[in-house]
Chain A
Amino acid sequence: MKADLRSRSQCLTLALFTQRTIRELLNFIETGNRDTLRPALSDALTSLEDVRRGELPQFTQRRPALFASYEHLRTLEEVWSRDEQDAAVSDLHNLLQEDPTSPDAQASAHRLIDLLTKLGNRARWNFEQRSITPPHRLRELCQVQ
Chain B
Amino acid sequence: MPSAVEQLLHDAAYVDAFLAQIGHFRSQQQSSQIYVDPTTEFFHYVKQLEEASRAFVVALDAGRVDATHVGLARATLQDIKNYWRLLHAFIKPAADAHVLQVPAPLIEFATSQIRRIPGFANANVVLLLTPELMYFQDPHTDLKLTAAELAHVIPQAGFSVQLGFIELPFSQGSNLFTNLVLYHELGHFVFEELCSAPQPGCDPGQIEGEIRMALNAHWSGYAALSADEKAFFVGILRSWSQEIFCDLFALHLIGPAFTFAFIEVFSLLGLQDTALQTQFTESHPSDALRFAEHLAMLTDTGWWDHIQTLDSWHRVILEECAGKSGSSSLHIDGQPYPDPGLVDAFKDVLPTLRDMVRHISAETTTSAENFARLRPEVESALLWGVVPPVHPSGQPGAGIDPDPVSIINAAFCFYLTRLPELLRNLNLSAERTPEVQARSFWAARLQTWTLKAVEDHQIMSKRESRV
Contact = CB atoms under 8 A, between A and B. Distances in A.
Contact of A69 (B79, B203, B231, B340): B231
B72 A19 contact: yes
Nearest to A30: B68
A18 B152 CA distance: 12
A77 B225 CA distance: 13
A56 B231 contact: yes
A31 interface: no
B138 to A, nearest CB: 5
Interface stretch (B143-151, B173-181, B265-273, B348-356): B143-151
Contact of A1 (B78, B89, B225, B234): B89
B76 interface: yes
Interface residues of A, number: 50
Contact of B75 (A26, A55, A120): A120
Q: Contact residue range for chain B?
A: 35 or more
Contacts of A26: 69, 72
B164 to A, nearest CB: 13
Nearest to B82: A12
Contacts of B264: none
A141 B227 contact: no
Contacts of B431: none
A6 B341 CA distance: 26
Contact of A13 (B69, B146, B228): B146
B136 A60 contact: no
A59 B231 CA distance: 9
Given A5-B89, A8-B86, A145-B341, A16 B146 contact: yes
Nearest to A131: B333
B221 A5 contact: no
B286 to A, nearest CB: 17
Interface stretch (A93-101, A102-110, A132-140): A132-140
Most buried by A among B78, B146, B195, B238: B146
Contacts of B130: 1
Given A8-B86, A56-B234, A1 B228 contact: no
Contacts of A10: 142, 146
Contacts of B226: 54, 77
A81 interface: no
B146 A138 contact: no
A8 B143 CA distance: 9
Contacts of B89: 1-2, 5
Interface in A67-96: 67, 69-70, 73-74, 76-77
A135 B145 contact: no
Given A5-B89, A5-B139, A5-B143, A60 B228 contact: no
Interface string B80-94: 001100100110010
B287 to A, nearest CB: 19
B231 A70 contact: yes
Nearest to A120: B75
Contacts of A60: 195-196, 198, 203-205, 208
Given A1-B89, A22-B72, A16 B152 contact: yes
B132 interface: yes
B205 A58 contact: yes
A142 B145 contact: no
A76 B93 CA distance: 34
B450 to A, nearest CB: 29
Contacts of A2: 89-90, 136, 138
B340 to A, nearest CB: 5
A6 B145 contact: no
Interface string B169-206: 00000000000000000000000000110100001110
A77 B226 CA distance: 10
Given A5-B86, A54-B226, A58-B205, A16 B79 contact: yes
Contact of B79 (A3, A6, A15, A62): A15
B205 to A, nearest CB: 4
Interface in B215-264: 219-221, 224-232, 234-235, 238
Interface of A: 1-3, 5-6, 8-10, 12-13, 15-17, 19-20, 22-23, 26, 50-51, 54-56, 58-62, 65, 67, 69-70, 73-74, 76-77, 120-121, 124, 127, 134-135, 137-139, 141-145
Interface of B: 69, 72, 75-76, 78-79, 82-83, 86, 89-90, 93, 130-132, 136, 138-139, 141-143, 145-146, 149-150, 152-153, 167, 195-196, 198, 203-205, 208-209, 212, 219-221, 224-232, 234-235, 238, 282, 330, 332-333, 337-341
23 contacts: A2-B138, A3-B136, A9-B146, A12-B146, A16-B79, A16-B146, A19-B153, A20-B153, A23-B72, A26-B72, A54-B226, A59-B208, A60-B196, A60-B198, A60-B203, A60-B204, A70-B231, A73-B231, A121-B75, A127-B82, A141-B225, A142-B338, A144-B340
